[in-house]
Homo-oligomer: A and B are copies of this chain.
Amino acid sequence: MAEIRLPKARRGRPRQAEVARLAGVSQTTVSLVLSGNKQGIALHPDTRARVLQAARQLGYAPDPAAQRLAAARNDLLGVFSFTATFPTDVAHSYYPILVGVEQEAVARGYDLVLFTGSSSAPARAGRADALDRVRLADGCLFLGRHVPADELRRLVEQGYPAVHIGRRDELDSLAWVGADYAEATAEVVRRLAALGHRHVVLVCETDEALASTDRERGFRGALAQTGLTGEVVRAADPAAEITGEWVRSQLAAGVRAFVAEETDTCAAWRALLTAVEDAGLTAPADLSLALLGAPPADLAHLPEPTGFDVPKAELGAAAVRTLTALLTAGAADCSPLVPCEFRPGRTAGPAPHP
């Protein structure tokens, strides 16, 4: 098999000094000409031409490392996720977000550095701790709620530009972007109200995620606003508590609309679907169902749930915008909420008149 060998002349790369020598000017002048003369300094056209000619002749290209050292920035944005950025199993976890991150970063002239917290790199002596490593980038995005709070706090308090994707309240001064779960949930309730529903039950899991409390807040707010009555059921073990019997009793009490929150496992939603089936009922004929988020991939064959979609790409893009604002202006709005899009779906319909 053939072999590729690197040319030994690694130092043979032309530098500004050599261009200067060829053009008969100083290296400073070369820098001035080649960097586009942003300072508006007057330059003799001949000098300019000679420099450009010499640079072309030598095939000069600036060394990005040197440029970035001098400019005290490297146009790098970090993306840190505690779980693997590219998980082998859950192929699509952060992917949609990364789409938005990359697009927005590219549009703003930044490159991306990927950091994975869970990765067990061979312990190289002197290597910075997991989170400190991100400092190599001008700023960093953090994904997922598993980012260690204390290390993150230190980073932020030392003035490192960081933006968390997903709500993160416990750290004051930490910028974050998140989806507007409250408003999206409220919209779902309003839609149900418009369909004639008077009673709505929200099924949650006991996971105390911030997104969960957001949804509950939006739920209660919309109830008050629309004059509906409703209840929040927090099930530690949805599969056990949300049964066909439970559904029947709710129907007996006049409830015709059930809303479940989306989680990693979507246990609440799954339990609800199973319970409805066990009760021998169908949506949207007998009752209405809604999912506060997107259904898991393995449920893709079922009728599309009424609910809302979190615009994940937009979330990533918003995070980049916030981070670059931090970078360039030194400040940014701390919590731009990205609106979710209502998804009509096919699991909710008019409330049967009693």
Chain A contact residues, CB within 8 Å of chain B = 1-14, 33-37, 52, 55-56, 58-69, 72, 74, 76, 84-88, 90-91, 95, 98-99, 101-103, 105-109, 111-116, 118-126, 128-129, 132-136, 154-155, 157-161, 173-175, 313, 326, 330-336
Known: A3-B331, A159-B6, A159-B8. A114 touches B102 (CB 8 A): yes
How far is A10 from B120 in the complex, measured between Cα atoms in Å?
A: 30
Selected from B3, B59, B86, B102, the residue in CB contact (under 8 A) with A333 is: B3
Count copies of this chain in the complex: 2
Q: How far is the CB of A136 from chain B (nearest CB, A)?
A: 5
Q: Which residues of B contact A113 (CB under 8 A)?
A: 76, 111-114
Residues of B within 8 A of A63 (CB): 69, 74, 135-136
Cβ-defined contact, A107 with B132, below 8 A: no
**How far, in Å, is A92 (CB) from chain B's closest CB?**
9
Alpha-carbon separation in the docked complex, A95 to B94 (Å): 11
Let me know if A326 and B109 touch, CB within 8 A.
Answer: no
The docked-state distance in angstroms from the alpha carbon of A77 to that of B209 is: 35
Contact pick for A135, options B8, B13, B84, B123, CB 8 Å: B13
**Other-chain contact of A4, B84, B118, B173 (Cβ < 8 Å):** B173
**A106 vs B114: C-alpha distance in the bound complex, in angstroms?**
10
A123 to B175, CA, bound (A): 28
**Are B114 and A111 within 8 A (Cβ)?**
yes
